[in-house]
Amino acid sequence: MVDTQKFVQTIDELERTLRQLADSGVRGFDCAPGALDTLQAWGRQRSQPQAPESLEAIREDIGDCRRCKLCRSRTRIVYGAGSSRARLMFIGEGPGQDEDRSGEPFVGAAGQLLTRIIAAINLRREDVYITNVVKCRPPENRLPEPDEIATCSPFLRRQIAAIRPVLICLLGGCAAQSLLNTTESISRLRGRFFELQGCRVLPTYHPAYLLRNPEKKRAVWEDVQMLMKEYPYEG
Ligand code: URA
Ligand code: URA
């Protein structure tokens, strides 16, 4: 008899390893995003034949995380906030100082701009779900490093799988490049939809970048209108 628990664990570990290799640019075996998603779905279907795992279960699994070096300088883990049934999810880069202190994503200046963007879509923050690529603040607000992104992104993928939003808006180059597994610049990636874990994904500029570069407001407004066109307001 196959030990199902063990089998599932092995699949999960294999998937995580392949993803880390894929995220760090290794090629030459089948680590295409589609194959990895299939593997992930396979492992999860077997471990959860009915209900998908809950956001709370994923948070519990993160625990008092020490899996990467960001744990040394963080104050709080910033897991994510909003509706578990959100149809629209926003993914930023990582917590800043205000988020590190409060434990809530996007509460500083960039967060206030994000709140205004959400209001422009005729939604409230509690209607959507907001999280980041890494859950702990990088020191001095530096960019998250590849090993930190690779360690944290399985949790983000599980959050996406738990929520199953219709739309995902990727805020800035870090989120867009790491989730779409590309080195293409945000200015080239923004303004069109991609597919990820069964969701329609739209990259746009990060609100912090927008604060420094107000001339990009027009582009972001175009992207926001694309989200509004696709958002299922009814039903
Ligand atoms: N910038 C981000 O990318 N995420 C936050 O939560 C806050 C600022
Ligand atoms: N660089 C980023 O990382 N994000 C932006 O939105 C713009 C430039």
- pLDDT averaged per 10 residues in sequence order, the chain, 235 residues: 71 79 71 72 61 93 98 98 98 98 98 98 98 98 97 98 98 98 98 97 98 98 98 88
Q: For position 40, what pLDDT does the model report?
A: 72
pLDDT, residue 14, reads: 82
- Give pLDDT, residue 21: 77
Regarding beta strands 81-82 and 167-171, do their DSSP bridges make them parallel or antiparallel, or are they unpaired?
Answer: unpaired
Establish whether residue 92 lines the binding site of ligand 1, counting it when its CB lies within 6 angstroms of any ligand atom.
yes
Q: Which of 77, 78, 93, 148 to mutate to test ligand 1, by most ligand atoms within 8 A of the CB atom?
A: 93
Q: For the chain, which residues make up each domain, given as ranges?
A: 4-230
CA 25 – ligand 1 centroid, Å = 25
What is the Rg, in whole angstroms, of the alpha carbon atoms belonging to the chain?
Answer: 17
Ligand 1 pocket member 110 (CB < 6 A): yes
| Residue 205 alpha carbon, nearest atom of ligand 2 | 6
Q: How far is the CA of 141 from the centre of ligand 1 (A)?
A: 10
pLDDT score for 45: 61
Shortest-distance Cα residue to atom 3 of ligand 2: 173
Cβ atoms of 99 and 106 closer than 8 Å: yes
pLDDT at residue 97, rounded to an integer: 98
**Distance (Å, whole) CA 19 – CA 12:** 10
For residue 112, give both structure tokens.
């206030």
Q: What is the 146 CA–ligand 1 centroid distance (Å)?
A: 17
- CATH code given to domain 4-230: 3.40.470.10
Q: How far, in Å, CA of 45 to CA of 121, rounded? A: 34
User: How far away, in angstroms, is 207 Cα from ligand 2 center?
Assistant: 9
* Paired tokens of 145: 């490093």
Instruction: Provide the whole-model pTM.
Output: 0.81
Which residues have CB under 6 Å of ligand 2?
A: 172-174, 186, 205-206, 209
Q: Check if 95 has its Cβ closer than 6 Å to any atom of ligand 1.
A: yes
The predicted structure's pLDDT at residue 48: 53
Amino acid letter for position 143 = L
Q: What confidence score (pLDDT) does residue 119 get?
A: 98
Phi, psi (degrees; rounded to nearest 5) at 52: -70, 160
| Ligand 1 pocket member 79 (CB < 6 A) | no
Q: Rounded to an integer, what distance in angstroms lies between the CA atom of residue 164 and that of residue 87?
A: 7
